[in-house]
Structure 1
């Protein structure tokens, strides 16, 4: 196999010719449309399944995003507990640090977790709770990592919360433990949250290729593996908008190189597996990856034939963000679907560059406007279906537009080769469902008025 750094830009399948991205810019305070900073921090850290996650604030904050995402676990489920200090009026007026200490002590005694993450909220930040001091004192007293996550909702958007969560991992977790001596150094997967079990499909491919996985950050993760992430040989950033800053920090602090990749689409998956093997500098592993990817792509090409026939020439509006804004385009193009509109409101400048590489001037870029703007694009571009998050599903149903959910609340895994086949089935099913013919037909009373005997 030729070293991947020698490939020409036109040979590279996933936009690797684009320079490495910079972390997302810090949003303006209060700019929390689409989710607040507290929400973003929980999205990034709640998938650490064996740790306890304590929300320091009113009970309503604990219900902000807890339990609403499709991030799955294969083992411990302590992270699913909705733990909160449940501050009332008295604590808000006179201070809630005493209640926070009591809550930490209760969690440590009741659950004996390997670590406790404590999240600040708008209320506790505004009244001046010293989260760092309380967590530090509790950690020394209990002999247990108690990690402050300073991400109150008012400081910015969900993307900023992702970044603050990554900062907390780098400052308080990564490098604090050592892995077992018999485990080979491998790859960190950064920004993969195991939505609908996608990480398991990725792990299966890595195992078949013999690529060791050091740490999952943070889908279906365990606290210790993240604490040992500094011993990895390389990192793959799956979602650059969320945790690119963490990857850069690990490169600067521990000398761990990283690359940005995706597992949406066969070509993207193949590139990512090859790049992992290349960075691990293992020739035999590279050969195994070549054999695996050739076999999987051939099998997938055969299985996709009927779906490509049904999807060829169809037009779609894709409204998502981050890595999915460009990598899902690659998957859709492999299926013969033309993207005529794409959301960019949660994408970095480099994400937008990758989008342009794939669609050029053919698609409309939707930077803001929500459902109204999406519907306008669908109608103007004569799109056949909408691919977006669950919040737009009911809008699509009311407008009788075939819809496929692509965001974090979904229950279908679309990563890897099997994921592309599953996406093809979902798209075909959405387009050919008999409900659209029924919904477009005249109502029974309209038949009667027109004299139709049907």
Structure 2
């Protein structure tokens, strides 16, 4: 067996996945049977989700004494204390790598203690060593639904269950609010959201809905498969990210619900809509169209962002995901959408690939953000793993039509600001007096025309293409760029400044 040291992982452990499910639900308490370090779950919830109270996790610590004499007594004491003090509906006893190494039979402990607790005791059926975050979420969420779901009569009006949104997900709580608003606009009721905000009682009523919606491809589909097989519930599994995917999502819901959604789609994509105004503007055509991008992230966000970039005219050099279990589906989904589609979970290989590609902009995880900063490329974080900056306090969805406008703003600002910063670093900043003079020249059309015409020099002429490129450079560094380019041209004996000369000057001053 070959062991690989993983000091940067794209996915969390099985414990992380289970905690995301239990921490998102009501009156469920998690007992983590592991070493002191596994209390990091509390820190993650407190820091990223900004909980004002202690998250519903209690550590049953495995220390040196437990390693030597066994940890069963400590676990029993912890479970009974949590049941008495917290009074939850469910206590989830979570295995860890340490409890697995000790060969602790957690199912036997739960079976023995069940008669002594008011709460229902559940042990997740996952492998703490082998399973990663999203797979563990998928399996445990299905286990929870299978434990409590009951046959119920359907609601009078057409209603849906939203499967997927949880704490610690990438903008998932914001996504939930956007999808809720969309469904409300269409006149569709929401029966239940799982796991976010769900309780044991709510899970018993999950079958009242007419349709299940699996928002993300990484987990939730197994729940829908179970409910379809056990209770005959239909479901759809489309992540509404980007113009095409959002349209498909709405059309399929409309077909299931028997309503016409096309008027809603046309309204959001009309020439007067924010999306059309941005995508079809002269500014977007000049700053976005034809740019070269690379995309990397989890399955849902990498696929959705790749489609969106194609829709707004950005060329995707390659698209990748770290979800190796979904390799076949990922490649099939993005066939023809990028020059290269692949699966890789080694961040160093991705970092090197970004450097080799030299894209105009990178779309990735927090790891690609670090790599992009090291290689001096602008980057938009579009997937977990993410930084605390990607857990904003304000509403910031990724999905739906509002999500599209947010991503467009982020793309536009990142490319432009990245260009301005790059030019300032390359050519240096003008003095304050020079900036004022350039700003005045920018306001006065006649002065600007004089400044730019023929490069403001009788000796050196600027070709139309070169002059147009100069006009697109931000005003606060334009004067410096012009002077440095002309200086370089004179030194090299050029009588005319072309695009080639501009690029040569750029390379010269970057040394």
Give the TM-score category using the shorter length: 0.7 to 0.9
What is the match of residue 44 of structure 2? 67
> Which residue is 2:58 aligned to?
83
- CA–CA separation in structure 1 for the residues paired with 2:266 and 2:342: 36
Q: Spell out, residue by residue over 1:114-146, the C-alpha distance to the aligned partner (whole angstroms, 9 max, x if none).
A: 322221101112222222233344444333222
Structure 1, 136-145 or 409-418: larger mean CA deviation: 136-145
Tell me by how many angstroms 1:185 deviates. Answer: 6.0
* Aligned positions, number: 409
Check conservation: 1:311, 1:336, Cα contact below 8 A.
yes
Q: Is the 8 A contact 1:115 1:146 kept in 2?
A: yes
| Counterparts of residues 3-42 of structure 1 (less than 5 Å) | 34=10, 35-42=12-19
- The change in CA–CA distance for 1:220 and 1:93 in structure 2 (over 3 A counts) is same
Contact 2:60 2:75 in 1 (8 A): yes
**How far apart are residue 205 of structure 1 and its match?**
0.8
Higher helix share: 2
Instruction: Indicate the residue corresponding to 1:191 in structure 2.
Output: 164
CA distance in 2, matches of 1:415, 1:38: 27
CA displacement, residues 10-64 of structure 1 (integer Å, 9 cap, x when unaligned): xxxxxxxxxxxxxxxxxx9999854333333334443225422221111212315
With over 3 angstroms needed to count, the CA separation of the structure-2 counterparts of 1:440 and 1:371, relative to structure 1, is farther
User: Is 1:234 aligned to residue 211 of structure 2?
Assistant: yes
Q: Deviations over 1:311-350 (max 9, x none)?
A: 2111211111222221221222223222111113313412
Post-superposition Cα deviations, 1:153-184, rounded to whole Å, max 9, x if no partner, equal 31233343233323422442333x969x9775
Q: CA deviation at 1:94?
A: 2.6
Inter-partner Cα distance in structure 2 for 1:97 and 1:158: 26
Q: How big is the shift at 1:148?
A: 1.2
Residue aligning to 2:275: 301
Deviation of residue 358 (structure 1)? 2.9
Matching residue of 1:402: 378
Match of 1:317 among 294, 307, 312: 294
**Structure 1 residues 253, 275: CA separation in 2 closer, same or farther (over 3 Å shift)?**
same
The counterpart of 2:128, out of the listed 141, 148, 153, is 153
Whether the aligned pair in 2 keeps the contact of 1:53 and 1:79 (CA below 8 Å) is no
The equivalent residue for 1:3 is none
Aligned pair 1:110/2:91, yes or no? no
Deviation readout 1:247-271 (Å, 9 max, x if unpaired): 2122111111222201211332232
Does residue 373 in structure 1 map to residue 349 in structure 2?
A: yes
1:435 matched to 2:414? The reply is: no
User: What is the CA distance between 1:432 and its match in structure 2?
Assistant: 1.0
- Backbone CA RMSD of aligned residues: 3.4
- Is 1:341–1:365's contact at 8 Å kept on the other side of the alignment? yes
Q: Which has the larger radius of gyration?
A: 2
| C-alpha displacement of 1:389 | 0.9
Alpha carbons of 1:98 and 1:113: their partners in 2 closer, same or farther (altered >3 Å)? same
Q: Tell me the secondary structure at the aligned position of residue 277 of structure 1.
A: helix
Q: Give ranges in structure 2 of 5+ residues lacking alignment.
A: 431-479, 488-508
Question: CA 1:53 to 1:159, structure 2 compared with 1: closer, same or farther past 3 Å?
Answer: same
* Distance change >3 Å, CA 381–CA 70, structure 1 → 2: farther
Superposed displacement of residue 107, structure 1 = 2.3
Higher RCO structure, 1 or 2 (CA under 8 Å, sep 6+): 1
Please give the per-residue CA displacement for 1:68-121, whole angstroms capped at 9, x wherever unaligned.
699869xx9878344211222222333323322322232233333332222110
Q: Could you list the per-position Cα deviations for residues 365-417 of structure 1 after superposition, in whole angstroms to 9, with x for gaps in the alignment?
A: 34226344334433444411111111222221121110111123323421111
Q: Does the 8 Å CA contact 1:199/1:219 hold for their aligned counterparts?
A: no
Asked whether the equivalents of residues 366 and 381 of structure 2 are also in contact (C-alpha less than 8 Å), the reply is yes
Seen in structure 2, the aligned counterparts of structure 1 residues 295 and 221 have a Cα distance that, compared at 3 Å, is farther
1:257-406 mapped onto 2 (5 Å cutoff) = 257-280=234-257, 283=258, 286-287=259-260, 289-298=261-270, 299-305=273-279, 306=281, 308-309=284-285, 310-346=287-323, 347-359=326-338, 362=339, 364-368=340-344, 370-406=346-382
Task: Give the TM-score normalised by structure 2.
Answer: 0.71
Q: Which residue of 2 aligns with 1:421?
A: 405
